[in-house]
């Protein structure tokens, strides 16, 4: 009975989202966001990956509610684990000057992810709008809900299933690692200690920027896709089939398990990957949104309105 009530609540909230939510209240909202994201990606190509990841991390922790953007306070412990905050803040400032108190930070994050994908020739999709912003954040939720870079396949499947996303959604969303970079600390164990499941030449190349002993090299960056690091394409999946996934959580998608066939399909069919990625991003964006009178529309994305 309780589960049925919860599902009804979630479906009701999702039903309140619509692609034309701001058409009358802030008609230039989407144009303003797109211009801001395009400018940010032109300045730094890596920002496209960061903005997609920002949306992912937000939605996986208590729903797509912009909780990830909140600064820590005496009563709020956020999960500031990604980049792109300044881009969202800049867009929000522009929107507040056009239509104060109308466009939520959660919606800006969702649209920014779509526009970031477009900016690097990735797929596009229609973003449902009408999310509201939370007044709290949860670092504990981030630690318990977000996938880890060393998670085995069954654990990854469980984490995505808990958010209503299928294994196919998981593989498609993981394909965003076709762009972006990651820190040495996240892949050191793989390139030095996983000889049975990694291409030897690939591991040797990666060791050049990642010393074996933890220390100053922890924050050294390496592209997740060594071949086409700034292009949104399906080369990520070819890398996995050649045992050249940089993160262990990437390589487990093609390691003799249940998702091998999906990786193989996407490696051969870029259109299928693009289509599934777009659909999965829409589903992810619908995870437990706050709508109606829930939450608030923050005036400043980093603080709740009472403190703004």
pLDDT given at position 79: 44
Instruction: Kindly indicate the confidence band of residue 144, based on its pLDDT and cuts at 50, 70 and 90.
Output: confident
Which pLDDT score, from 0 to 100, does residue 136 have?
Answer: 86
Q: What is the pTM of this model?
A: 0.90
Which token pair is 294?
A: 């829930």
Mean pLDDT of the chain: 90
Comparing 62-71, 163-172, 195-204, 265-274, which segment has the lowest mean pLDDT? 195-204
pLDDT more than 90, % of the chain: 80
Angle at 171 between CA 87 and CA 66, to 5 degrees: 30
DSSP one-letter string for 154-209: HHHHHHHHTTT--HHHHHHHHGGGGS-EEEHHHHHHHHHH-GGGS-HHHHHHHHTT
| Residue with more model confidence, 45 or 80 | 45
Q: Please determine, for residue 153, whether its predicted confidence score (pLDDT) is greater than 50.
A: yes
Does position 72 have pLDDT exceeding 70, yes or no? no
Closest C-alpha among 116, 94, 270, 244 to residue 179: 116
- Enumerate the active-site residues: 57
Q: What is the pLDDT of residues 82-139, one digit of tens each?
A: 779 999 999 999 999 999 999 999 999 999 999 999 999 999 999 999 999 999 877 7
Q: pLDDT class for 193, splitting at 50, 70, 90? A: confident
Residue 307 has a pLDDT of: 58
How many Cβ atoms from other residues are within 10 Å of residue 54's Cβ?
Answer: 26
What is the band of 76 on the pLDDT scale with cuts at 50, 70, 90? very low
Instruction: Provide the pLDDT for residue 192.
Output: 93
Least confident of 32-36, 195-199, 248-252: 195-199
Split at pLDDT 50, 70, 90, the class of 145 is confident
| pLDDT of 4 over the 60 cut | no
The residue among 93, 186, 91, 95 whose CA lies nearest residue 146 is 186
Answer yes or no: is pLDDT of 2 > 80: no
Per-residue pLDDT for 77 more than 90?
no
pLDDT for residue 195: 66
The tens digit of pLDDT for each residue in 205-219 reads 999 999 998 887 999
Q: Which of 10-24, 87-101, 133-147, 239-253 has the lowest mean pLDDT?
A: 10-24
| Rg (alpha carbons) of the chain, rounded to whole number | 19
pLDDT for 75 beyond 50: no
């Amino acid at each position: 009975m309780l589960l049925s009530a919860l599902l009804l609540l979630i479906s009701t909230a999702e039903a309140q989202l619509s692609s034309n939510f701001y058409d009358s209240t802030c008609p230039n909202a989407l144009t303003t966001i797109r211009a801001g994201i395009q400018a940010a990606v032109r300045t730094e190509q890596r920002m496209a990956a960061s903005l997609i990841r920002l949306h992912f991390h937000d939605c996986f922790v208590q729903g797509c509610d912009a909780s990830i953007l909140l600064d820590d306070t005496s009563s709020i412990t956020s999960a500031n684990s990604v980049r792109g905050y300044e881009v969202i803040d800049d867009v929000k400032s522009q929107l507040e000057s056009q239509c104060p108190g109308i466009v939520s930070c959660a919606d800006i994050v969702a649209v920014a992810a779509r526009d970031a994908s477009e900016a690097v020739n990735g797929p596009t999709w229609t973003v449902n709008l009408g999310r509201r912003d939370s007044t709290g954040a949860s670092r504990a939720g981030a630690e318990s809900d977000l996938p880890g870079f060393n998670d085995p396949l069954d654990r990854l499947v469980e984490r995505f299933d808990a958010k209503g996303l299928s294994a196919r959604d998981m593989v498609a969303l993981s394909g965003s690692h076709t762009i972006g970079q990651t820190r040495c600390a996240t892949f050191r164990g793989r390139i030095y200690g996983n000889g049975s499941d990694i291409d030897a030449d690939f591991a040797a190349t990666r060791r050049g920027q990642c010393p074996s002993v933890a220390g100053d090299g922890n924050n050294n960056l390496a592209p997740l896709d060594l071949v086409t690091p700034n292009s949104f394409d399906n080369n990520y999946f070819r890398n996995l089939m050649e045992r050249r996934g940089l993160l262990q959580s990437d390589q487990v998608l093609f390691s003799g398990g249940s998702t091998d066939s999906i990786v193989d399909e996407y490696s051969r069919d870029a259109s299928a990957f693009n289509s599934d990625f777009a659909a999965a991003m829409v589903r992810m964006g619908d995870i437990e949104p706050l709508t109606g009178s829930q939450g608030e529309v923050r005036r400043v994305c980093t603080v709740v309105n009472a403190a703004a």
